[in-house]
Amino acid sequence: MGNSAGDATEYATQPSWRWPESEWRRHVDAVRAGQRLSPRQWPGRARVAVAISFDSDHETIPLRDGETSPGRLAQGEYGARAGVPRVMAMLEKYGVPATFFMPAVSALLHPEEARGYADAGHEVAVHGWIHERNMLLPESDERALVEKSVKALTRLTGRRPVGVRTPSWDFSPTTLATLVDAGFTYDSSLMADDEPYEVLAHGEPTGLVEIPVEWIRDDAPYFTMDRYGSVRPHSRPRDVLEIWKDEFEAAYHEGGVFQLTLHPHVIGHRSRMVVLRGLLDHIASYPQVWYATHAQIAEEVRREMSRRTSENRT
């Protein structure tokens, strides 16, 4: 049927246009979007849920690739020294809770920062060990790094993380099973919908909630700079603000989730914090907005999942 290890090895050496239907279906069905989990009503009769997140990568981007030059490490250090204080001050000013996805090595380098997130009422979630490319890891290493990351963040913040965002924004063949076995409530790495959904494994429900990300709603594609490569910032900050306003307004009118991914070392620069301030001002001009961490949204949609299960049984 195309599901055996022998078949997988055989077809791995063939171009995809030669695969039988069973083979391409096997790949497509491995990780799939299940039921959309938009609740009938957000808490407080809100029209929209706003979930703002920050990937506090800092020095782990160059460290992941074995780059140890002071210049590259300083780019990451900027996020911790300058970006995070600006971000935290703005979140406090607007009364907005956020989710900080933090590589464990980043948290170990900046333990007071990790504790500060939790002490301020924000969520701290897993984002790998050293921002490793989890797509390239063997299963044993992937599982070990997830376990180490959970332990490190729990020790530093006093709270066990319930959510994860893979460093690669992608799954290896064993990532889904690893996350489910680790007991995570939700993942925020995939892009199959605008709204939260349940992740399926070969057509079977896993109970894992997906809070989707999207490159459109991420600051890095617009503002990243690589001195030795072809990556260059190609957008004016205020142009990006217009995109994010449009994304929020569509989520508001549809009664869904507006999810945003930012990075302290990217958005934390002075001219770009103008964008975040403008976005929060824009959102604040709308009534019935529920600002929530990713964990709070996952908890809310899991209630919806339980309600539907109960209704189906009756």
Contact 39, 301 (CB under 8 A): yes
- Planar angle of CA 4, 34, 122, nearest 5 degrees: 115
- Look at the block and give the residue holding tokens 């070969």: 202
Distance CA 231, CA 212 (A): 25
User: What does the block give as tokens for 305?
Assistant: 């999942």
Distance CA 6, CA 24 (A): 15
Distance CA 144, CA 20 (A): 35
Give which of 300, 298, 301, 303 is closest to 161, Cα–Cα.
Answer: 298
Distance CA 195, CA 203 (A): 19
What is this structure's pTM? 0.93
Confidence of residue 31 (pLDDT cuts 50, 70, 90): very high
**pLDDT per position as a tens digit, 10-25:** 777 889 999 999 999 9
Could you tell me what percent of the chain has a pLDDT over 70?
96
**Looking at the predicted structure, is the pLDDT value of residue 3 above 70?**
no
Contact 259, 48 (CB under 8 A): no
Q: What amino acid occupies position 106?
A: S
Listed in sequence order, the residues at least 6 apart from 8 whose beta carbon sits closer than 8 Å to its beta carbon are 26
Question: Beta partners for 163?
Answer: 186
Question: What is 30-37+44-307's CATH number?
Answer: 3.20.20.370
**pLDDT per position as a tens digit, 40-85:** 889 999 999 999 999 999 999 999 999 999 999 999 999 999 999 9
Domain boundaries, the chain: 30-37+44-307
Distance CA 114, CA 98 (A): 13
- Look at the block and give the residue holding tokens 């971000």: 87
- Taking phi first (over 0 means left), then psi (-120 to 50 degrees means alpha), and beta for anything else, what does residue 247 get? alpha
3-class DSSP string for 40-53: CCEHHHECEEEEEE
